[in-house]
Amino acid sequence: MKARSPHTDEQHLTEQLGATGFRLTPQRQQVYDVLRHKRDHPTAEEVFIRAKHAMPEISMATVYNCLDALVKCGMARQVTVDRGATRYCPNMHEHGHCHCDACGKIFDVDIPHELAGLTLPAGFLARHFDVAVHGLCAACVAKKK
């Protein structure tokens, strides 16, 4: 997680948005800041609640719109580990998610390149791998004892 200067950050966001035909707006900046600030894979509703602290006027519809723009321009990813609300993640590296079924915590995990060795149906053109590991995190394993 390299620190980037705020200036470069904003510039990068503007570029990415711009390249996909979107503008940088205060709301989009704010939503992106929320994602970067606490990388715990929040749902749209959690993003909404956090964004409201700095920007009380923001609406839920705008949060959805902003998250959608961020996903489309390649600054965030949607994460689906369970039924229930979609979660968002600003980590754009190829990675998977480890989900604790007891407490709901989500951890990013690297996915091994061997995965590319999957035998796919003939002619299938793979573009993205979604890997979710379900189980119990260390804390919850300990609790069960």
Partner DNA sequence: TCAAGATTTAGAATAATTCTAAATGTAAGA
Partner DNA sequence: TCTTACATTTAGAATTATTCTAAATCTTGA
The contact set with its own copies (CB under 8 A) reads: 78, 80, 82-83, 86, 96, 98, 100-101, 107, 109-112, 114-115, 117-138, 141-142
Q: Which is nearer to DNA, 132 or 145 (CB)?
A: 132
Residues in contact with 62: Cβ distance below 8 Å, sequence separation at least 6, in sequence order = 27
Over its C-alpha atoms, the chain yields an Rg (Å, rounded) of: 17
The site for DNA, by CB under 7 A, has a size of: 25
Q: Which does 110 bind (CB under 5 to 8 A by kind): its own copies, DNA, none?
A: its own copies
Q: What is the DSSP string of 6-60?
A: HHHHHHHHHHHHHHTT----HHHHHHHHHHHH--S--BHHHHHHHHHHH-TT--H
75 belongs to the binding site for DNA (CB under 7 A): no
d(CA 114, CA 38): 31
Site string for DNA, 13-42 (x = CB under 7 A): --------xxx-xxxx--------------
Using CB under 7 A, list all residues that contact DNA. Answer: 21-23, 25-28, 43-45, 57-62, 64-66, 68-69, 83-86
